[in-house]
Structure 1
């Protein structure tokens, strides 16, 4: 009896999966279509509120800036920075522009102001920070003229590797890849497996260029490429680098006139070490060449980043980074059980379990210590809370995200 029941159980499970996924996709795309339709309404007057002012600032102190747009790129430590912004928003009672029902602004379609939850013409917001495909005029219309625009870039080869493995299950044309190292096989001849019109294709080709709102299929020799890069430089006050995250945070702190406590962090949404393949010299070069637009973008802002560091002062930067790392370590000792991240299966509280990619659960999270002093208890919890749960805490109704989470949990995918 057991020999034939198991196949029937598997067939029934996948039949249920097919029905649920079909229904979910129909519901999602109906919702997305409605949002796109609403986005075509006439453009209202832009936000005209004065810059947000903090309270209780001494006259001789720097004036913290509290209006900020964070263009959240994929796989660039952006979830860690998102947590910093969530905490800052709570600290100063700021107004977030959040999506409705989902944790991004209908990505990969372009951002529209009508996608903001409960948006009314003329509304102004302090912080915009969720995933989107950037559309400058629409975003700019929701914040004060003095708002600060920031984003994060990452070495394109490593970004491609991370995106390939994290999003592989939702990029259908990669499913035909066989062998142990699918990434290496893909890079042997990317055009054989890549279709720019394919579903979720953007995750595997010049993802930074795409997220920033540009055509990720441009010829690298096109003059438009340089024009787009200079446009990013004009629009963004700070372009951070994932590889130099601490230095980037120090520059952000200086730019925004924030306190050291405002930029403390634990790494969120990080993969376990065994799930991070090492790119060989040849594969690294191929990945860079395949993502040539992102490579040109990264090269430009890597140079400008170090010019900012020079202007800030190398010795001063070293001191500030050392202070930040010391404080982060101190918070680990205060907050984290074992003082390190753990695998998903070892996270004891469901509310602290990060969202996992489909397939293997490789994203790490944290367990809080059982006894934390009252002084740090709230901060510790905020610092380890994944973005989905944090958004819920901030009042966002993530019904689509949660529905998909329940389906995945039921089907164990």
Structure 2
């Protein structure tokens, strides 16, 4: 894992240089890293893009996915631990707790800022303005297709460059249904992220207006049609399946500790030669995809084998 400071800098520098030397034009990272360190390592004309998610739903997802590796949640009792936590968050939350950042203002943390600062501090607004200056486009997960169309326009891509399948989705039975009351509590608890999201929700729709509403609707419809075509070409049954129904071990997604809640896919048995490689790449989970790119994930693989042996 990459971290703040010199350790991150030295590792990332090698990664970036290797990327440039092998002619890749896109670098993706999902770590909380100091923004200035990233910028120093990239060309001056680099385009920066990020994506935000509604903070309440991000909190629910993070709480579920990382809960077993956040000691602060271990003392929660009852069937609905998320509701219990939101009933009185400060009874359980400790800003200095191990992996505590997964429990509050995760967006702000991932963008390289202090997620525990006072939400009413002037610094929050300053950081939001700084983020606005840093990124050429801030996408929204709730409007992912519209976001991809804006990304295509920004980078002068073609429609085929933004086709996608939804990976790492959870089974519906494992998703905590946020009642209006819980949604409001989760929103208030993640107040910095809420301010961030509301700001960029406004900027996002201004970009959509500038792009043209009718033009956007047309392009989104075309994207969705092409995505459906790719599903019919690549995916056996046309939809995601439970982990137990995935036939190839190489297509198994990474699962939260102690659960098998993440869905995956089976490739069609007969795919035309033109699409065979593309289909596999589009459906390959990220751990296997990174391995195929040459990233050394031996610790992750070892941990996976231990979990399989212990049936975690």
**Which residue does 2:11 correspond to in 1?**
115
CA deviations on 1:144-166 (whole Å, 9 max, x unpaired) are 11111011101111110110011
Aligned pairs (5 A) from 1:63-78: none
Counterpart pick for 2:123 among 217, 224, 239: 224
Match of 1:28 in 2: none
Q: Distance in 1 between matches of 2:172 and 2:17?
A: 47
Question: Where do 5+ consecutive residues of structure 2 fail to align?
Answer: none
TM-score by length of 2: 0.95
Q: Deviations over 1:44-83 (max 9, x none)?
A: xxxxxxxxxxxxxxxxxxxxxxxxxxxxxxxxxxxxxxxx
> Hey, which of these two has a bigger chunk of helix by percent?
2
Q: CA deviation at 1:120?
A: 9.2
Deviates further, 333-342 or 395-404: 395-404
- Contact 2:101 2:115 survives alignment (8 Å): yes
Give the aligned partner of residue 148 of structure 1.
Answer: 47
Partners of 2:17 and 2:234 in 1: how far apart?
A: 43
Match of 1:392 among 291, 294, 302: 291
Distance 1:141 1:224 in 2: 23
Higher mean displacement: 308-317 or 110-119: 110-119
Moved more, 139-148 or 259-268: 139-148
Aligned equivalents of 2:191, 2:16: Cα separation in 1: 40
Change (3 A) 1:119 1:255: closer
Question: In the alignment, which residue of structure 2 is the partner of 1:331?
Answer: 230
2:269 is matched with which residue?
370
Within-5 A mapping of 1:112-191: 112-116=8-12, 118=14, 124=20, 126-191=25-90
- Residue 407 of structure 1 deviates from its aligned partner by 1.4
- The residue aligned with 1:277 is 176
Q: Which residue of 2 aligns with 1:408?
A: 307
Report if the CA contact (8 A) 1:247-1:321 is conserved.
yes
Counterpart Cα distance in 2 of 1:121 and 1:364: 35
Distance 2:36 2:202 in 1: 27
CA distance in structure 1 between the partners assigned to 2:239 and 2:95 by the alignment: 40
Query: What is residue 345 of structure 1 aligned with on the other side?
Result: 244
Question: Aligned pair 1:266/2:168, yes or no?
Answer: no
Deviation digits for residues 241-264 of structure 1 (CA, Å, limit 9, x no counterpart): 000000000000000001111110
In structure 1, what is the equivalent of residue 136 of structure 2? Answer: 237
Q: Does the alignment pair 1:304 with 2:203?
A: yes
Query: How many pairs are equivalent?
Result: 308
Contact 1:124 1:143 in 2 (8 A): no
The corresponding residue for 2:107 is 208
Deviation, structure 1 residue 361: 0.9
State the shift of 1:118 in Å: 4.1
Distance in 1 (alpha carbons) for counterparts of 2:58 and 2:258 = 19
User: For residues 187 and 168 of structure 1, what CA distance do their matches in structure 2 show?
Assistant: 14
CA deviation after TM superposition for structure 1 residue 141, in Å: 1.9
Change (3 A) 1:230 1:188: same
**Does the C-alpha gap of structure 1 residues 222 and 328 become closer, same or farther in structure 2, counting only changes over 3 Å?**
same
**1:62 matched residue in structure 2:** none
Partners of 2:35 and 2:111 within 8 A in 1: no
Aligned to 1:193: 92
In the alignment, the residues of structure 1 paired with residue 245 and residue 17 of structure 2 have an alpha-carbon distance, to the nearest angstrom, of 46
Checking the alignment, whether the CA contact within 8 Å between 2:19 and 2:27 is kept in structure 1 is no
| Shift of residue 283, structure 1, vs aligned partner | 0.6
* Contact 1:105–1:131 (CA under 8 A) maintained in structure 2: no
Q: What is the CA-CA distance between 1:410 and the residue it aligns to?
A: 1.3
